[in-house]
Amino acid sequence: MVNFLIFGPPGSGKGTQSVQLSEKFNFIHLSTGDMLREEIAAGSELGKKVESIMQKGELVPDSVVIEMIANRIDNNPDCAGFLFDGFPRTAEQAVTLDNMLEDKSTSVNKMIVLEVEHNELVQRLLSRAEVSGRADDRDVNVIENRISVYKEKTEPIVNYYREKDKYVPVDGMGQISDIFDRLSIVIADSL
């Protein structure tokens, strides 16, 4: 089993690229953002708990996302690989993921970081709001908060993986198909 992390600020294209990459490489795509939005759409207790946090662009508690991810890993013992999108997002999530994978005798192969300029991120999210209807994409202040939360809480884990020689930056500017080709090369090289 292989495990890739797709990393980058909000609007960097993680979701779009993850869907296509999972199809190409036959990976299971694990997006904590999608899972949380499904809980909200279903009106579950968990969904009610996280809705206002997500609307503000803050992070939901580590325990919530860790439990969701642990369930998916446990329920798919025979898959070719996982593509983690939007997880881990804090140091605690990163350490927990490593321990969970170690228990299954596997580990993170690479952390692929999509690099995109700040103005481009904001523009992409505002355009996405028109089609996605996502509450956290509609308001520039919420978008800026999400980018700040990324810088403060999530970006530091780049170093955690860099020290383990797993960090690979990829240019996330340009055409979706060109970025897909760049990412595909990184994954194919690490299989």
Q: State residue 105 phi and psi, 5-degree precision.
A: 60, 40
User: Applying CB under 6 A, what is the total number of residues that bind ligand ADP?
Assistant: 18
Q: Applying CB under 6 A, does 18 fall inside the site for ligand ADP?
A: no
What part of residues 66-105 is at the interface with ligand ADP (CB under 6 A)? 86-87, 89, 93
Query: In the set 3, 5, 10, 97, which binds ligand ADP (CB under 6 A)?
Result: 10
What part of residues 38-57 is at the interface with ligand ADP (CB under 6 A)? 53-54, 57
What part of residues 123-162 is at the interface with ligand ADP (CB under 6 A)? 136, 146
* Closest approach of ligand ADP to the CB of residue 12, in Å: 8
Q: Applying CB under 6 A, does 13 fall inside the site for ligand ADP?
A: no
Contact between 90 and 153 (Cβ < 8 Å): yes
Angle between helices 45-56 and 62-75 (to 10 degrees): 120
In order of 7, 46, 68, 120, 142, the CA distances from 63 in angstroms are: 20, 12, 9, 32, 23
- What one-letter code names the amino acid at 7? F
DSSP 3-state helix, strand, coil percentages of the chain (rounded to 5)?
60, 15, 25
Q: Applying CB under 6 A, does 65 fall inside the site for ligand ADP?
A: yes
Q: Write out the residues near ligand ADP by the rule CB under 6 A.
A: 10-11, 32-33, 36, 53-54, 57-60, 65, 86-87, 89, 93, 136, 146
